[in-house]
Structure 1
Amino acid sequence: MTRSVFRYITWTMAPHVTADAPEMLHELECSSCLASSDTEADFNEARAWAFSHTGSHPSHRTYREIVTRNWRMIPAEGEYL
């Protein structure tokens, strides 16, 4: 039988914002017909799609934003692995 030692530490969770973190992604979806923009790192590109979509479909005026944001777990202050 193998013996193991477990150590309990306190963790915190925070958005992943280091230099190597993946970009946050945005997508807008029309609430009327469920058409959606491409998934974009730049929110303004998704926003431009929504303006164009409303221009083509004047009754489609509400959208939901779908955001992909990366998070990471960090040992709490003073905790070490």
Structure 2
Amino acid sequence: MSAHTILRYATWVIGPEAAPEAPEILHVLACTTCSAASEATEEFEGARDWAFQHSGRNPSHTGHRETVTRFWRAAPLN
């Protein structure tokens, strides 16, 4: 028995996952001075509040980096 492979060229698109059960976008803010970080949260305000508290306790820690996790879906363009 022989195996056959079929190749076809297709145009693909990618975009944010739109399924109702898709995970929410997650936000994390990390201090660029000491690398302490907020918990991942669906609400940006939770990460922002952590950054305010961290800078308040550590006045020289004023820089923060945001990491956003967003789920995407690729599909062939019909």
Q: TM-score normalized by structure 2?
A: 0.89
SS at 1:9's partner residue? Answer: coil
The runs of at least 4 aligned residues of structure 1 exceeding 6 Å deviation read none
Map 1:69-80 to 2 at 5 A: 69-76=70-77, 79=78
Map 1:1-81 to 2 at 5 A: 1-76=2-77, 79=78
Identity %: 44
State how far apart, in whole Å, the 1-side matches of 2:18 and 2:49 are: 26
User: Alignment RMSD, CA only?
Assistant: 1.1
Unmatched 5+ residue regions in structure 1? none
State how far apart, in whole Å, the 2-side matches of 1:57 and 1:11 are: 47
Cα offset, 1:23, TM superposition: 0.7
Given residue 59 of structure 2, which amino acid in structure 1 is its aligned partner?
P
State how far apart, in whole Å, the 2-side matches of 1:65 and 1:3 are: 47
Matched length: 77
State how far apart, in whole Å, the 2-side matches of 1:34 and 1:17 are: 33
